[in-house]
A and B are shown apart, each in its own frame.
Chain A
Amino acid sequence: MIKEQLTQIKLSASSELDRAQTLDEIETVRVRYLGKKGELTAVLSQMGKLSPEERPVIGQSANEIRNFIENGIKIKKDELSAKALEDKLSAEKLDVTLPGKRIRIGKKHPLSIVLDEVKEAFISLGYSIVDGPEVEYDYYNFEALNIPKNHPARDSQDTFYFSPEMLLRSQTSGVQVRTMEKRKPPIKMIAPGRVYRIDEIDATHSPIFHQIEGLVVDKGINMSHLKDSLNVIAKKLYGANAETRIRPDYFPFTEPSCEISVTCFNCGGSGCSFCKDEGYIEIGGAGMVNPKVLEGCGIDPEEYSGFAFGMGLERLVMQRYKITDIRMLFENDVRFLRNF
């Protein structure tokens, strides 16, 4: 009798579980069969009526059925929750091609992007970075650099004056002198900064622009060292394939002097309209520091020698980003600024 009841319970519980669609329905099945007042409990309460021989057999059978139902409930629950998760995920589907929510991050000005790279390059070569005044004495901008009054070289960099002795620096080279006056060799520094020249503003001219000046002074520095340093620097700024070429030029504060060119980044050296078929583009000037300049700073040129170099930042930036109008750099239109 009890045995038939148990079989019946197993069958009906199994089919009810199969039909259950929600967690509530599963719970109803559980309460109906396994609850305190459930059918299996009710059957087990009749165990007392059974003979001692039947009891273990039926007891074992009842336990098997309890395990069977509990297991069925667990499987069903897992099935349902997997389904529910699947439904939830599919309902939560997004159009991932919609735009993101961005936090506004400010942009570096292109002049700073390149200047910072230049600084990093020199820092990694053991240079330090030195600053100097933009309003400068005539002495530091010209006299101490072997450019006395009436020197024709003054013409080529027409200068803004406040008084005969005070001016807006037309080159960063004065920082060399200030540094050598303050520090004894060895010296290894760069001086990036603003310079001013009388030039009407147009696509390629700005009365304010930036130069990067460099100076190395030590015992036994020679032209080979200058060439090597320029090579290393050019490769850092223009990439490993950049070749440097120097050719004679004239600056009053260096002797010998040279112009620095690197492989044209546009054609890679084969010649194009950009480099006027030369394969090289000029990036600045350099030379061995003129002994008169060293002497003026209290450094004995027989004991020490050095080299100096200078280049224009705007030119580097305009070449890098193919900017054709220098005015863009100082107009600061946000559409321009946020382009980089």
Chain B
Amino acid sequence: MDISYKWLKQYAAVEADGREFMRRMNMSGTEIKGFHSLSDGLSNIAVGKITKIDRHPDADKLVVCQVDVGDKGTLQIVTAATNVFEGALVPVALHKSVVYGGQKITKGKLRGVESQGMFCSVEELGLTEHDYPDAIKDGILILKEGIPGESIFEVLGMDDIIFEADVATNRPDCLSVRGIAREASATFGVPFTDEKPILSETTDDDVSEYLRVTVKDSDLCPRYSARVVKNVRIASSPLWLVERLRNSGIRSINNIVDITNYVMLEYGQPMHAFDYSCVSGGEIIVRRAGDSKSVKTLDGEEISLNPEMLVIADREKPIALAGIMGGENSEITENTKTVVFESANFFGPSIRRTSKALGKRTDASSRYEKNIDPSMTVEALDRACQLVSMLDAGDVIGELIDVDSTEKKAKKIFLDSDWINKYINTNLTKDAMINILLSLGFEMSGEDVVVPSFRSDVSDKYDLSEEIARIYGYDNIKPESFKSDMSGGGYTDKQKFEIKLNDVLRASGLDEIYTYTFTGTKSFDKIRLSEDDVKRNCLKISNPLGEDSAIMRTTVLPSMLEVLSRNYNNRNPEAFLYELGKVFVKTSDTTLPEEKIIVTIGFYDTSGDSDFFTLKGMIENVVSEMNIKSVSYLPCSDNPSYHPGRCAEVFSDGKRLGIFGEIHPTVSENYEIGQNVYCAEISLDVLYSSMGEVKMYKPLPKHPASTRDLGLLCKNEVYNSEIENIIVKAGGKNLESVKLFDVYTGKQVADGYKSLAYALVFRKEDGTFSDEEVDAFIVKILDALKEKDIILRQ
């Protein structure tokens, strides 16, 4: 909200410059985001009075003017403007001045005649014609008032500082010049000028002969005050009013409408003016829309009403959308003769709902929705009518209409100064606290603080402590460390596990990524989930940003594939990535989902140096470094997202840790990755619960081991794991380790067969096995293998 400093000073005579004002207001709790003046960037423009106009000797379209610029003497200015006349007051850009847009003006010659400056149009001052209806487009701005030599910025109110205030939602009272001025008075220690408007010239008509107000739904309209003004003389507003509105970001319309806006800005009380002749039956009825289907608002929009929306109606039809915008059917026009001023209080949440539902947010609704003070309706109304008299815009009928169902009970809070001093750790006297509260508009009643009606946000001693702390100054509160007998800080075991897991994944060469946890249902199709896959049962966001972010993900695969795809399309030759990403498993429509972290790995590598076993190596690193017990791998051919022949599930003690493998070529294609893609999805919870015991120290062997290599021949379909299991079982406790070191298929072995070579190590604790003993072990192993048609290669 734009706040005019000049206007504010009328209520609190602060002397600080713009920067200082902003700084101190920010420190006392009124956020000022910045400030500017309409004269910023302009310079050296003064009021001039044209004393004489002569024809230019060499140019038909130019005239030569003598201009009185006060103490700067008389200047000669050549102009092409046609609306200048002798005696006219005009803005003069002097030698070495800057006009709007940064254009520099210096003296020079026009067709041989010296010109010592330039007359300015509205545009050249950075203003709009709208604010100066008398100004001619492309013509010079003819001023109504001003003294030759005076700065134009003062004359046109352009030197005013305009502050941009960002008012917190709990302080609707500060959505006004008076509200901010009150804060400024407390902040700077200057008095707040609070003069009640007085209506001196009123008529003694019986207002009930004109208007009746009936509030049918007082739950949504606690108070409705109105006044009638007759013999209305619609005109444009005086310059000072236009300028104040302009400096507050509001355009001037006409005197009556401008008054309503002026009072809203000054008091924070939205107002509306109806053309009385359009109020059918002379009655205003405040009610829910009910059967009324629509109303056309001032902006020309046809609004469809729902029955709960509050409207202002006459006997026949709605004439305004309450608290948001007036109706076109009762708009003030040039022909308006009698006006009804409305100054009402509406129930905030209702205005908020309506405004949100219609997507219509106005200066009025943004105030009403925060529940403004109902006690100010009449004062604001009187201020409006005082302005009517001041502007001679009509005759105010003295009698007031005020339908008021509000409770007038002031809130009282015991001023517990000891407690406050402890809570904000200050050493203030009770009097000092009282002074702060008084400066903010609170009153005292014995030991109690009486909360003013405009401060509905204050309700207990905590609130009072904040009022005192912020005016005393947060800066003045000393930092102090606290002692606490708290123990038990630090990482939990699970957090430590996660930290280590991250280290292991990075040590495997994987870069960490962060992906969005919501996605779209299309992703299920892209990773080839079947129609009845349980992963399709997901949480749906009812107000999503778009189709691609409408559900909570139940699988991390699409997120990883999207990132890989993006990297591939960005022509990165390789990407090795991981994420500890959450998935959301739906439990029901009304209960929270299970949130599970999936350790996700994904990579592609155009160099061709990486394959399935690169991935498996990473998995092996993880299970080994994280000390996962009894790990086994089983082929998996039925996961739709993975290559049926290059996919495995990993288990610990029979519990499934997860799945990994090459991504199905169709899926890679769906993500436009022209490379083999490898992914893994491991459950963090299962991994954590599968941690083995801490490994104890084992003495290093004292005696040499016996090693044997075995070359075996078997059918292609036989898995290495089967062979290893047989060897380990038959080898018994004497076999220390078995390790595959070669796999061969080709000319040297029969079709459909492969050759595998293993290195076996036998060891006993108290010596070395003899050759005969080892031979016997080998025979036993070979016998066991033979049962499965795995034979020694000759």
Which residues does A use to contact B, with CB under 8 Å?
A: 103-109, 111-112, 123, 125-129, 133-137, 150-153, 155-156, 160-163, 165-166, 168, 186-188, 194, 196, 198, 200-201, 207-208, 216, 218, 220-225, 227-229, 231-232, 245-250, 252, 255-258, 276, 288, 290-291, 305, 329-335, 337-338
Q: Is the CB of A224 within 8 A of B425?
A: yes
What's the nearest-Cβ distance from chain B to residue A102, in Å? 10
Residue B95 at the chain A interface, CB threshold 8 Å: no
Determine the distance from Cα of A291 to Cα of B539 in the docked complex, in whole angstroms: 35
Determine the distance from Cα of A283 to Cα of B509 in the docked complex, in whole angstroms: 34
Residue B200 at the chain A interface, CB threshold 8 Å: no
CB contact under 8 A between A166 and B513, given known A248-B474, A250-B171:
no
Give the residue of A109, A152, A198 whose beta carbon is less than 8 angstroms from that of B545.
Answer: A198
CB contact under 8 A between A256 and B466, given known A222-B424, A248-B29, A333-B570:
yes
Determine the distance from Cα of A228 to Cα of B481 in the docked complex, in whole angstroms: 6
CB contact under 8 A between A330 and B577, given known A126-B489, A135-B593, A150-B348:
no
Residues of the A chain whose Cβ atoms lie less than 8 Å from the Cβ of B470 = 248, 256
Interface of A is mostly: mixed
What's the nearest-Cβ distance from chain B to residue A178, in Å? 11
Which one of A104, A127, A256 has the highest number of Cβ atoms from chain B below 10 Å of its Cβ? A256
Determine the distance from Cα of A225 to Cα of B422 in the docked complex, in whole angstroms: 11
Determine the distance from Cα of A231 to Cα of B509 in the docked complex, in whole angstroms: 38
CB contact under 8 A between A208 and B516, given known A105-B506, A129-B495:
yes
In chain A, what residue has the closest Cβ to B458?
A255
Residues of the B chain whose Cβ atoms lie less than 8 Å from the Cβ of A151 = 169
Residues of the A chain whose Cβ atoms lie less than 8 Å from the Cβ of B286 = none
Residue B634 at the chain A interface, CB threshold 8 Å: no
Q: Is the CB of A224 within 8 A of B477?
A: yes
Q: Is the CB of B517 within 8 A of A152?
A: no
What's the nearest-Cβ distance from chain A to residue B754, in Å? 31
Residues of the B chain whose Cβ atoms lie less than 8 Å from the Cβ of A332 = 513-515, 563, 566-567, 577
What's the nearest-Cβ distance from chain A to residue B342, in Å? 23
Q: Is the CB of A106 within 8 A of B171?
A: no
Residues of the A chain whose Cβ atoms lie less than 8 Å from the Cβ of B593 = 135
Chain B, residues 495-526, CB within 8 Å of chain A (1/0): the string is: 10000001001111111111111100000000
What's the nearest-Cβ distance from chain B to residue A326, in Å? 11
Q: Is the CB of A250 within 8 A of B352?
A: no
Determine the distance from Cα of A220 to Cα of B419 in the docked complex, in whole angstroms: 11
Chain B, residues 20-36, CB within 8 Å of chain A (1/0): the string is: 00000011110100100
Q: Is the CB of B492 within 8 A of A128?
A: yes
Q: Is the CB of B592 within 8 A of A136?
A: yes
Q: Is the CB of A334 within 8 A of B516?
A: no
Residue B490 at the chain A interface, CB threshold 8 Å: yes
Residues of the A chain whose Cβ atoms lie less than 8 Å from the Cβ of B354 = none
CB contact under 8 A between A194 and B517, given known A133-B592, A335-B572:
yes
Residue B244 at the chain A interface, CB threshold 8 Å: no
Determine the distance from Cα of A250 to Cα of B577 in the docked complex, in whole angstroms: 41
Residues of the A chain whose Cβ atoms lie less than 8 Å from the Cβ of B352 = 150, 152, 155
Residues B743-794 near A (CB distance < 8 A) = none
Q: Is the CB of A223 within 8 A of B577?
A: no
Stretch of B582-590, B638-646, B720-728 contacting A (4+ beta carbons < 8 Å): B582-590
Determine the distance from Cα of A338 to Cα of B570 in the docked complex, in whole angstroms: 15
In chain B, what residue has the closest Cβ to A221?
B482
The number of inter-chain residue pairs (CB within 8 angstroms) is: 228
What's the nearest-Cβ distance from chain B to residue A2, in Å? 58
Residues of the A chain whose Cβ atoms lie less than 8 Å from the Cβ of B168 = 249-250
What's the nearest-Cβ distance from chain B to residue A305, in Å? 7
Give the residue of B465, B490, B540, B576 whose beta carbon is less than 8 angstroms from that of A106.
Answer: B576
Q: Is the CB of B474 within 8 A of A247?
A: yes
6 contacts between A and B (CB under 8 A): A126-B484, A135-B595, A163-B542, A223-B424, A247-B27, A256-B470
Determine the distance from Cα of A216 to Cα of B470 in the docked complex, in whole angstroms: 22
CB contact under 8 A between A333 and B514, given known A225-B480, A225-B482:
no
CB contact under 8 A between A231 and B513, given known A104-B576, A128-B488, A256-B469:
no
In chain B, what residue has the closest Cβ to A244?
B479
Residues of the B chain whose Cβ atoms lie less than 8 Å from the Cβ of A201 = 545
Residues of the A chain whose Cβ atoms lie less than 8 Å from the Cβ of B590 = 163, 165-166
Residue B741 at the chain A interface, CB threshold 8 Å: no
Q: Is the CB of A152 within 8 A of B169?
A: yes
Q: Is the CB of A256 within 8 A of B584?
A: no
Give the residue of A165, A188, A338 whose beta carbon is less than 8 angstroms from that of B484.
Answer: A188
Determine the distance from Cα of A107 to Cα of B503 in the docked complex, in whole angstroms: 10
Residues of the B chain whose Cβ atoms lie less than 8 Å from the Cβ of A290 = 462
Residues of the B chain whose Cβ atoms lie less than 8 Å from the Cβ of A256 = 424, 462, 465-466, 469-470
Residue B8 at the chain A interface, CB threshold 8 Å: no
Residues of the B chain whose Cβ atoms lie less than 8 Å from the Cβ of A112 = 502, 512, 514
Q: Is the CB of A224 within 8 A of B479?
A: yes
Q: Is the CB of B595 within 8 A of A133?
A: yes
Q: Is the CB of B541 within 8 A of A162?
A: yes
Which one of B507, B541, B570 has the highest number of Cβ atoms from chain A below 10 Å of its Cβ? B541
Nearest 10 CB-CB pairings of A with B: A248-B29, A106-B506, A256-B466, A104-B509, A250-B168, A228-B479, A150-B349, A224-B480, A224-B425, A126-B489
Give the residue of B570, B572, B592, B595 whose beta carbon is less than 8 angstroms from that of A166.
Answer: B592
Q: Is the CB of B462 within 8 A of A168?
A: no
Determine the distance from Cα of A162 to Cα of B543 in the docked complex, in whole angstroms: 8
Chain B, residues 420-452, CB within 8 Å of chain A (1/0): the string is: 001111000000000000000000000000000
Determine the distance from Cα of A195 to Cα of B518 in the docked complex, in whole angstroms: 12
CB contact under 8 A between A156 and B169, given known A133-B595, A256-B424:
yes
What's the nearest-Cβ distance from chain B to residue A5, in Å? 56
What's the nearest-Cβ distance from chain A to residue B723, in Å? 31
Q: Is the CB of B592 within 8 A of A103?
A: no
What's the nearest-Cβ distance from chain A to residue B669, in Å? 21
Give the residue of B425, B513, B575 whose beta carbon is less than 8 angstroms from that of A223.
Answer: B425
Give the residue of A125, A252, A258 whose beta carbon is less than 8 angstroms from that of B474.
Answer: A258
Give the residue of A133, A155, A225, A248 whose beta carbon is less than 8 angstroms from that of B28.
Answer: A248
Residues B543-569 near A (CB distance < 8 A) = 543-545, 549, 552, 563, 566-567
Q: Is the CB of B552 within 8 A of A135?
A: yes
Which one of B31, B34, B462, B481 has the highest number of Cβ atoms from chain A below 10 Å of its Cβ? B462
Residue B392 at the chain A interface, CB threshold 8 Å: no
Q: Is the CB of B491 within 8 A of A338?
A: no
Residue B486 at the chain A interface, CB threshold 8 Å: yes
Determine the distance from Cα of A222 to Cα of B479 in the docked complex, in whole angstroms: 10
Determine the distance from Cα of A55 to Cα of B515 in the docked complex, in whole angstroms: 99
Give the residue of B27, B539, B572 whose beta carbon is less than 8 angstroms from that of A333.
Answer: B572
Residues B699-718 near A (CB distance < 8 A) = none
Q: Is the CB of B462 within 8 A of A291?
A: yes
Residues of the B chain whose Cβ atoms lie less than 8 Å from the Cβ of A111 = 514
Q: Is the CB of A225 within 8 A of B481?
A: yes
Residues of the A chain whose Cβ atoms lie less than 8 Å from the Cβ of B540 = 162
In chain A, what residue has the closest Cβ to B423?
A222
Determine the distance from Cα of A333 to Cα of B576 in the docked complex, in whole angstroms: 11
Residues of the A chain whose Cβ atoms lie less than 8 Å from the Cβ of B507 = 105-106
Chain B, residues 377-406, CB within 8 Å of chain A (1/0): the string is: 000000000000000000000000000000
Extra pairs beyond A112-B502, A232-B481 (7, CB < 8 Å): A105-B509, A222-B423, A223-B477, A224-B479, A245-B475, A250-B170, A331-B563
Residues of the B chain whose Cβ atoms lie less than 8 Å from the Cβ of A276 = 34
